[in-house]
Amino acid sequence: MNPVMTIAWRDIRSYFSSPKGAAIFFFFLGFMGFFFQNFVATFVEMTQRAPMFGGQAPTLEQLLRALFYNLHFILILIIPAVTMSSFSEERRNQTLRLLQTSPVTATQIVFGKFLASAAVLALVLACSAVYPLFIKAYGNPDVGVILTSYLGVFLLICAQVAFGLWVSSMTSNQFMAFLFTMFGLFLLLILNWIAPNLTGGGILESVVKYIASTDHLDVFFKGMLTVADVTYFLCFTVMFLFFTNVVLDSQRWR
């Protein structure tokens, strides 16, 4: 087996041979279910009320978009929980030495870890498909929008995992890794809203807004698939994987 796959497979198994994997699934799907139930109830209520007040009834797409926005929020809590252990735990248990003294490169280690975390989250994401499927069973949503939204969220997950790995590679303390990843991702989410306060307008504001993940994700949620936004997430992912690689490699020189 390729060393990348060996490392990834061990990590994936490790998520599920401890309660950690189960806990992640439980909280993610539990919260998603709670929000789904709530949103659907609101959706039904608003649909019934709309004719009475002469307003427009909400569309299924709006319901889905609300659901996906929520997904973004939940991910901010879930991603750090998945990535925090990837390097920090190995460092704390000294198992990182096993990887460092094996004939594998730092890049292979980073890709292995990335694949493992991304695969676990992709699995979680796949399970969350039960909610859109529910809507599909009882309604008539645009399947294209659901698919692009899922692609967007998956790309977002890859970017967030890369960021989480980078943070995790710098500390042997899992809690610190969790905290820093969570706040980093949170900052990325709200960057769009606080950009005017940070920069006072101008070109700088648009740069900061570009860095934020929200606008790019919106494009996917609207059912569009653009090269620019796919590139944004891919660049983000590659950049932080590269940073992780640098951190890991540089430790041999400290």
Partner 1 sequence: MIEVSGLSKRFGTVQALTDVSFKVEKGQIVGFLGANGAGKTTTMDIMCGCIGADAGSARIAGFDITETPLEAKRRLGYLPDVPPLHGEMRVEDFVTYSARLHKIPAARVKGRVDEALDRLSLTEVRRRLVGNLSKGYRQRVALAQAIVHDPEVLVLDEPTEGLDPNQIVQIRELIRSLAGQHTIILSSHILSEVQNTCDHIIIVHGGRVVQQGSYEELVQHMQSGRLYRLRVARDASRLAATLAAAGNLVGVRAADDDEQALEFGLTKDVGDEALDEVVRHTVDGGHGLRELAAKTKSLEEVFFQLTQ
**Segment (H or E) for 199:** helix 174-199
Residues of the shown chain interacting with partner 1 in the complex, contacts defined by CB under 8 A:
1, 3, 6-7, 10, 13-14, 17-18, 93-105, 251-254
Contacts 24+ apart (CB under 8 A), 96-99: 99/7
Compute how many other C-beta atoms are within 10 angstroms of the C-beta atom of residue 121: 24
* Nearer Cβ to partner 1 (70/251): 251
In order of 113, 124, 180, 197, 240, the CA distances from 169 in angstroms are: 11, 23, 12, 32, 11
Shortest Cβ distance from residue 251 to partner 1 (Å)?
7
Shortest Cβ distance from residue 96 to partner 1 (Å)?
8
* Nearer Cβ to partner 1 (13/222): 13
Round to whole Å and give the CA distance between 227 and 2: 31
* Nearer Cβ to partner 1 (49/97): 97
Shortest Cβ distance from residue 85 to partner 1 (Å)?
11
* Nearer Cβ to partner 1 (108/160): 108
Shortest Cβ distance from residue 122 to partner 1 (Å)?
22
Shortest Cβ distance from residue 113 to partner 1 (Å)?
14
DSSP output for 209-244: HHHSSHHHHHHHHTT---HHHHHHHHHHHHHHHHHH
* Nearer Cβ to partner 1 (93/231): 93
